[in-house]
Structures are given as C-alpha cells and as structure tokens.
Amino acid sequence: MRRAFAVVCLLFAITPKAFADLSIAAASDLRPALEQILQAWNASHPDSQASATYGSSGRFATQIRNGAPFDLYMSADITYPRALQEEGLTDGEPRTYALGRLVLWSRSPFPERINELANTEGRIAIARPEHAPYGARAREALVNLDIWNAVEPRLVYGESISHTAQMAQSGAAEFALLALSLVGAPNQQAPGHWQRIPVGLHSPLEQALVVTLHGAGKHQADQLADYLLGPEAAAVLVDFGFERPPVPGGIAGQR
C-alpha cells in the first residue's frame, strides 16, 4: 500500500498542475476591455485565474523569443504572432479576435479634413512605429495623406499606444493618433475630441491571439483562448470600439 501511494505521489509530482494561473501578454489598446473580460473569466474559473501584462506588441514578441513566461499572446497586429509561429514558438496558429480602429484625438475641436493637421502648430503624439502597430499605422496614414514630411518635426513618441494616450492627455501633445478603444468607449472619460481615421489610409489592424510554447499543454490556456474568441468577449470588445473580424477563426461578421 505504501509503495502504491508513493507511486501515485511521484506521478502527481511530475505531471503538470491540474489547475494553474494564466499569464497574458496583451497589446495596451486592450486594457479597458480585457480587464472586464478577465474579471468575468476569473469569477467562473477560480482555479485558473488569468492576468494580463500590457505593452507594445513588438516588444512582447521579443520578450517571448527570449523566454518570457507568457501563456497567451494578444497582439494588435497579427504579423507578430505569425512570425513567432514560423519560428516554432507558439502552440498552433494565431487567430483573429478583433479589428482595431485608429483615431485622431485633439485637445480642442478639429476640422473635418484630417490632412489639415499639416497646417497646425501643435505637437502630435504617435506610438513608436518600430514596435507599436498603432504607431506603424499612424505613420502609414500620414504618409498616404502626403503630410508626413510636414508633421514629422512635431511628432512625439509613446512607447505603446496607452503611453501615447497618457502623453496626450497630460498635455505633452495637442494632437494624437490613438486607438479608439482608449478614447471612444462609453465609460471612457478621456478629455478632448476624436474622429476616426478612414481605414483606407492604412493597413488593417488585424489583432490576433496565440497560445505560446509556455502555455502549450495547459488545458486552461486553450480554454481561455477559446473564451477570448467567443461571443461574451466579442460583445465587450465591440462595446469598447473594436470591430468584428470578417474572417473565420475569430468573431463572425463585421461591425
């Protein structure tokens, strides 16, 4: 009997925990919506609590390459998780959970034509294009408007889109190109004015999630990924200004 008990204990010790907390690397545009989503998840999964760390998608991709212990990765640009998959650093393919929207924020009412930004004198905040998807799309839009050269000397850069929003709201910039999810949700009380930037001015902000190698084999990580792609999470994301992806694998339909 003692020998049998010892064997059972040994098997339990060398197998993964039946229940485990889950860690998410999440694009910073997700913070308001994802905190609400995870609150609902955690309430119904007391043995598999999930928490998120927020930052720029590109920096998270680098951290995951260097062994950061994230179970899931929610990027603002599907390009980053696709690259990790090609490098063998994910458990499966990335799946689209939403489309992000870029907006022009201003401290005071702004003319309808966004290209008039070139005729202003204030500083303009964008996220760093090198590692922040919203910054890359902001640069793309300004180039396509043919005003990049005119406004570049007045640009100030945030390390992530949420940092960029903080800069603008603190007075460090009079204008900013931000995520709609950070300024346009019903319960967001950010001062200032905003308008959507036409989607034709930049590549889509196709946002995708993937289970990392660190999360591979964790049943709860797969469950959480499915939950984040499901109808309850989709409803919250739409409330916070995200759009439904028109492709299979994420939320069905286009808002």
| 189 phi, psi to nearest 5 deg | -110, 30
48 is in an annotated binding site: no
**Measured between alpha carbons, how far is 247 from 255 in angstroms, rounded to an integer?**
12
**Quick one: DSSP state of residue 198?**
P
User: Which amino acid is it at 65?
Assistant: R
**Quick one: DSSP state of residue 90?**
B
161 is in an annotated binding site: yes
Neighbour-count burial for 110-119, b at 16+ CB within 10 Å, e otherwise:
beeebeebee
**Measured between alpha carbons, how far is 224 from 14 in angstroms, rounded to an integer?**
24
| 186 phi, psi to nearest 5 deg | -55, -35
Write out the H or E segment, with its range, that includes residue 176. strand 175-179
**Measured between alpha carbons, how far is 166 from 47 in angstroms, rounded to an integer?**
35
CB 105 within 8 A of CB 177: yes
| 220 phi, psi to nearest 5 deg | -65, -30
**Measured between alpha carbons, how far is 105 from 169 in angstroms, rounded to an integer?**
10
| 218 phi, psi to nearest 5 deg | -90, 110
Known binding-site residues for molybdate equal 57, 161
Known binding-site residues equal 57, 161
